Structure 1
């Protein structure tokens, strides 16, 4: 009888070591041979994700000097990129400033002045002025198509005659946006005030393309002019950045 009770006691003792009591005995596990088991390996600590701050996205094709010339409050930039210094061919892209930098719209074919570009535009040189200029006023021969900029409707935007390649100019000024080069912002594009003097030219506009080079303006298709008029918002302080590609890249 003594031997039987002892056998029961020996069989019961392992059950005490595997219970859920959570005391010191429960935390020490043993192998079948009776040796203490190796402690369980700790769970791996998750590696925290490190967020890297991305640099704001700049405007493609603009170098540090041209980018720095854009006013900080400018939220819309019309970039006119000439093919070469003496070329009348260019492209126009409207860029919108967003939280991560600048977002580009579609690229539109366009024309600039017959002889290309000048860093010191003079009246009659048939070159478009290089630079960064604000866009404050619009107008045209036709009624306002929904412009957000102040729109000056006038018969003075009549454009008779022919262009350098014999193309008719009629309708070129149906819609225009004044480029604030040598003019008084807040006035009609037809205003003749010239702060730099008459010799430095003026009346430089974005207007409807007539199929050939201009005297100094930048011209795009009629549909694209309407889109610019409906997109450019004075509360976003729009500007134009204009020049040939090599100059813009500086």
Structure 2
């Protein structure tokens, strides 16, 4: 079993990825499984199912998702981070954490976010500057700074660096202070720095939720630091969290 706190990052293999900013994406390597369960933390934020809203306020189905997208969400998943892009070619999106309760799905706040420069792709390849569309599990986290209180295994490492500037000239410094690995073309249960690519390097990888730097990404989804830290504290591996991501029209299929 992998130690949930102290893991050996694959810094050499990850170097080319880190110099390129956030990952280069790919499409549907869906739903890996997690490894191990770190101990509970007293400072973790959770949404209590017992305090769920009434059925009128908690829809049975996730809003904005069509039957094909909903069918890709495992029945055992009780947390869904829904990333909805403005349109197929837009780098702007919103993020909402939903918790499945006995009355349906309960929504958290809507958070502003960025995705890849050129928008979204159903068949992403490394370097196309589009974020992958799909449903992917969330099992591992890490960052340059200390664990913010997540229950996901957390790898703190100096390998989480983001030198240079973004597409709009903004500094990338601090972008990888906190990250959650999206299980697209990666091996679940490993550090986000693990360079294993089950579908091959040409299909991209290194797709993360990370700290927003004020502009589009290479393939990741970025949120304001406080929003990301709150989300990381809310994610619970026992609730089998997934991210559902894509432009609004694609998610409606």
Into which bin does the TM-score normalised by the smaller protein fall? Answer: 0.7 to 0.9
Supply the RMSD in Å over aligned alpha carbons: 1.4
Q: Do residues 122 (structure 1) and 142 (structure 2) align?
A: no
For residue 89 of structure 1, the aligned residue among 92, 100, 103 is 92
The equivalent residue for 2:40 is: none
* In structure 1, C-alpha distance between the alignment counterparts of 2:135 and 2:71, rounded to whole Å: 10
Deviation at 1:141, TM superposition (A): 0.2
After superposing on structure 2, the runs of 4+ consecutive aligned residues of structure 1 that deviate more than 3 Å are 53-56
Count the aligned residue pairs.
Answer: 198
- The DSSP-based 3-state class of the residue aligned with 2:110 is strand
For residue 164 of structure 1, the aligned residue among 149, 157, 167 is 167
- The DSSP-based 3-state class of the residue aligned with 2:238 is helix
Q: Which runs of 5+ in 2 are unaligned?
A: 1-54
For residue 150 of structure 1, the aligned residue among 150, 153, 168 is 153
The equivalent residue for 2:102 is: 99
For residue 209 of structure 1, the aligned residue among 212, 215, 222 is 212
* In structure 1, C-alpha distance between the alignment counterparts of 2:125 and 2:147, rounded to whole Å: 31
* In structure 1, C-alpha distance between the alignment counterparts of 2:89 and 2:97, rounded to whole Å: 23
The equivalent residue for 1:33 is: none
Q: Which runs of 5+ in 1 are unaligned?
A: 1-52
After TM superposition, the score normalised by the length of structure 1 is: 0.78
For residue 177 of structure 1, the aligned residue among 147, 161, 180 is 180
Larger Rg: 1
* In structure 2, C-alpha distance between the alignment counterparts of 1:240 and 1:116, rounded to whole Å: 17
Rate the CA distance shift 1:160–1:97 in 2: closer, same or farther, 3 A. same
Equivalences for residues 1-250 of structure 1 within 5 A: 57-250=60-253
- Check the 8 A contact 2:94/2:113 in 1, yes or no: yes
* In structure 2, C-alpha distance between the alignment counterparts of 1:67 and 1:139, rounded to whole Å: 28
With CA pairs under 8 Å and 6+ residues apart, which has the higher RCO, 1 or 2? 2
Q: Between Structure 1 and Structure 2, which shows a larger proportion of helix residues?
A: 1
CA deviations over 1:217-244 (Å, ceiling 9, x no partner)? 0000000110111000000000000000
* In structure 2, C-alpha distance between the alignment counterparts of 1:232 and 1:139, rounded to whole Å: 13
- The DSSP-based 3-state class of the residue aligned with 2:155 is strand
* In structure 2, C-alpha distance between the alignment counterparts of 1:97 and 1:240, rounded to whole Å: 14
* In structure 1, C-alpha distance between the alignment counterparts of 2:213 and 2:117, rounded to whole Å: 13
Deviation at 1:56, TM superposition (A): 6.0
The equivalent residue for 2:18 is: none
* In structure 2, C-alpha distance between the alignment counterparts of 1:56 and 1:146, rounded to whole Å: 29
- The DSSP-based 3-state class of the residue aligned with 1:149 is coil
